[in-house]
Amino acid sequence: MSNRISVFLPFLIFLALIFLELGCKHPTDPSSPNAPDTNWVTQPQVDISWPGLASSPWPMFLHDPQHTARSPYRGPQLGQVEWMFTTTGLVYPSPIIDVDGTVYVGCLRGDLFAVLPNGVQEWSVYGGGVSSAMVASDRTIYFDGNDSTGGAWLFSYDGTGHLNWKYPIDVAEGYSSVLISKDGQTIYLASGYLYAIRKNGTLGWKMKPDSTSTLHYSPAMSPDGTTLYVTSFTALNAIDTSGVLKWAYRGETSDPAVDNDGNVYFGINTTTGGLCSVSKDGTVRWVANDIYWSNNYPGPVIGRDGTIYITGHALYAVDYAGKLKWKYTMPGLSYSQCVPATDLDGTIYFGKGTSRTPDDSLNFFALNPNGTLKFAMCLKSPDGSIPDIDSPPSIGADGSVYVGSDYPHGTQLYKIK
């Protein structure tokens, strides 16, 4: 008997090990067939020096000329409103933060406000709108807006609210936020034409890729400062800083974002939706399907590890190689038009439209980098109504987020801690 046992013992041990291994499998085990994929491609990103911009926490639309919307500071942890400032109109633009913490925000009525860090108004001027301001290294404030006659202008103001100059542009109430060259000598905006306007308020050049193109929304710029990426209704155009078209990606696209290697990311309008990445020469790197973003706006932003975030029917996180990591579906309405912002820890902050019912009162969210909820808030108007939050949030050096509200009764700028 003992001889028979000794013969079969290795085989019995082998079977026992197999059963033990099978019994240890569970859905959260990365090697399990049912486990979520965690083999993401990353590409660490660093901040790009831009001497023409103010050295402030958030000097322009989406933080920088590459439209990364990535802050070097840790954002809010509590999800509490510190103060609320009431403007004169719906707040669609992103709040911009100066070196001393002053916040500049425009509204649809046409006013641009300078608000101190404690929520007190410092000054206001007429000429704001739906585009965001920008603060240059010499603390000059530039923005695209209208004057009292309804004409469209690029405005230049000093830090006290004094008008330096204004230059006439093609489209009234455009959606183009401005950016500045690396050396700070040229301001660019897309409003019908792509304009290059010198620091003294004179025209360098203006162009359209062709006679039928209307350029709109906010241009982004390559890390080396030599190429502008700007959207028309029919293409994403790469244009050099002398006004010459380098290449075009044909189709309806969103605002672009650009990574450290010069790769460009943008939403594309297809039957299944999509997020596209092209190299700096216009060669397609990848297309991620089933990313349902909202029309031509908003565009994607880029996290510190190279993850691409874009809002639409959900908030989508896509890895550097174009694979969907996760998506966060918001309660109530199934879309958001708010471009998200990310902080030092990778927390993602964004707002959404809301159906304004008691069961769907949440309109501002903070997500952890893995797509789980950190906190959600209900930002209300003074009359108790629940507005849409379409304003791209900005992150201050003190760890606060600034964000605006709009339809139906939202005219507020919120500071969230």
For residue 259, the Cα-to-chain-centroid distance in whole angstroms is 13
Predicted pLDDT at 392: 96
Task: Tell me what pLDDT residue 377 has.
Answer: 95
Residue environment code for 71-82, b if the CB has 16+ CB neighbours within 10 A, otherwise e:
beeebbeebebb
- Residue 293 pLDDT: 77
| Cα distance from N-terminal residue to C-terminal residue, the chain | 76
Per-residue pLDDT tens digits for 256-305: 999 999 999 999 987 777 999 999 999 999 999 988 876 656 799 999 99
Is the Cα torsion angle 251, 255, 257, 258 positive or negative in sign?
A: positive
Kindly give the parts of the chain with pLDDT less than 50.
Answer: 1-35
CA distance 130 to 244: 28
Count how many residues are written for the chain.
Answer: 417
Show the domains of the chain with their CATH numbers.
51-330 (2.130.10.10)
- List, edge to edge, every strand of the sheet that includes 301-302: 301-302, 308-311, 315-318, 324-328
C-beta neighbour count of 173 within 10 angstroms: 15
DSSP state of 251: S
pLDDT digits (tens, 9 = 90+) for 340-360: 999 999 999 999 987 777 778
- Distance between CA atoms of residues 351 and 169, nearest Å: 31
Distance CA(306)–CA(268), nearest Å, equals 20
Count the helix, strand and coil residues of the chain and give each as a percent rounded to the nearest 5. 5, 35, 55
**Contacts for 168-174 with beta carbons within 8 Å, 24 or more apart?**
169/144, 169/193, 169/195, 171/214, 171/216, 172/146, 173/129, 173/130, 173/146, 174/129, 174/130, 174/131, 174/144, 174/216
CA distance 51 to 34: 49
Hey, what amino acid is at 359? D
The pTM score is: 0.89
pLDDT at 252: 87
Order of strands, sheet of 203-207, starting from the edge strand that comes earlier in the sequence: 179-180, 186-191, 193-198, 203-207
**Residue-by-residue DSSP string for 278-297:** E-TTS-EEEEEES--B-TT-
Six-digit token pair at 13? 């041990």
Instruction: Provide the b/e sequence for 109-141 (b: ≥16 CB within 10 Å).
Output: ebbbbbbebeeeeeebbebbbbbbbbbbbebbb
